[in-house]
Amino acid sequence: MAVAIVTGAGQGIGLATARRLSEAGYRTVLVGRDAAKLDEAAAAISGPTMSVAADLTVPEQVEALFTTVEEAWGWAEVLVASAGASLAAPITQTTDEQWQQMIDSNLTAPFRCIRRALPPMLEARRGRIVVIASVVAKRGERQVGAYTASKHGVLGLVRAVADEVARDGVTANAVCPGYVDTPMTDATVAAIADRMGISTDDARTALERRQPIHRLVQPDEVAAAVLSCVQNGAINGQGINVDGGAVQS
């Protein structure tokens, strides 16, 4: 069985993706910072799983992750970089530390994972890389400048990698969700409610109304797009929107 590594797999999009890949026949490695949450997530997946706790903003832990997987199961044919962080703040109130956190979590960590995953993929002449970006990888949006910049960056990285490895049997794509019904969005809702002095229900409704379908995207809808990138070798260098039609491209 081929091996798939999914970062940010303890909840939300990452967990839904890990479940989809397991159902598709992959031995699935669930990666995240919270070991207990990973173990709980893995227990809910029927196929072979491995849980690896790691902070991917630490270079040594990226290397340790891949070494652990390779020693136990062999090289990973699929890498899904779903781990990330969000931040809502006006540009004038965004600190250097907050800016760096967005770059480290949403751009540098996926870069390091891709760099480490690629050599065995290139040697085998097959592999799939999918990064969970965002619709704000394709447009600007108020109050999320640092987050938007990091997602623009990671989409550019994916496109560069896709062009670099296309002739070697490896593809790289990004999936760009809108607002998804996840714990990360729950935190965004709470921040909006606090900042605007409204209820969390009203804040959630405001986010839902930003999407033409007037609801939050479900994690499994994003995972389905990830699986299509894994299964279809002709999809390469794309930023696939899963946002109910908010960004038409």
Work out the number of other CB atoms within 10 angstroms of the CB of residue 233: 13
Please state, in angstroms and rounded to a whole number, the distance separating the CA atoms of residues 18 and 13: 9
26 given a catalytic annotation: no
Tell me: do 225 and 197 sit in the same domain.
Answer: no
pLDDT band at 188 (very low <50, low <70, confident <90, very high): confident
Confirm if 5 and 68 have CB atoms less than 8 A apart: no
Tell me: do 22 and 119 sit in the same domain.
Answer: yes
Query: Structural domain tally of the chain?
Result: 2
| 246 inside domain | no
Residue 151, φ and ψ in degrees, nearest 5: -75, -35
Tell me: do 197 and 80 sit in the same domain.
Answer: no
28 lies in which domain range? Answer: 3-178+219-241
**Which residue in 45, 147, 150, 172 is the catalytic one?**
147
pLDDT in tens, 98-139: 999 999 999 999 999 999 999 999 999 999 999 999 999 999
Tell me: do 193 and 125 sit in the same domain.
Answer: no
Work out the number of other CB atoms within 10 angstroms of the CB of residue 238: 19
User: N- to C-terminal Cα distance for the chain?
Assistant: 36
| 248 inside domain | no
Closest CA to 171 of 121, 119, 221: 121
Secondary structure (3-state) at 52: strand
Secondary structure (3-state) at 174: strand
| 249 inside domain | no
CATH number assigned to the domain comprising residue 29: 3.40.50.720
**What is the side-by-side strand order in the sheet with 127-132?**
49-53, 27-32, 3-7, 78-81, 127-132, 170-177, 239-242
Tell me: do 107 and 190 sit in the same domain.
Answer: no
Note the pLDDT of residue 207.
87
Please state, in angstroms and rounded to a whole number, the distance separating the CA atoms of residues 42 and 52: 11
pLDDT in tens, 142-185: 889 999 999 999 999 999 999 999 999 999 999 999 999 998 88
Tell me: do 120 and 199 sit in the same domain.
Answer: no
31, pLDDT greater than 80? yes
Paired tokens of 180: 């998804």
Which sign, positive or negative, has the C-alpha torsion 100, 101, 103, 104?
positive
| 200 inside domain | yes
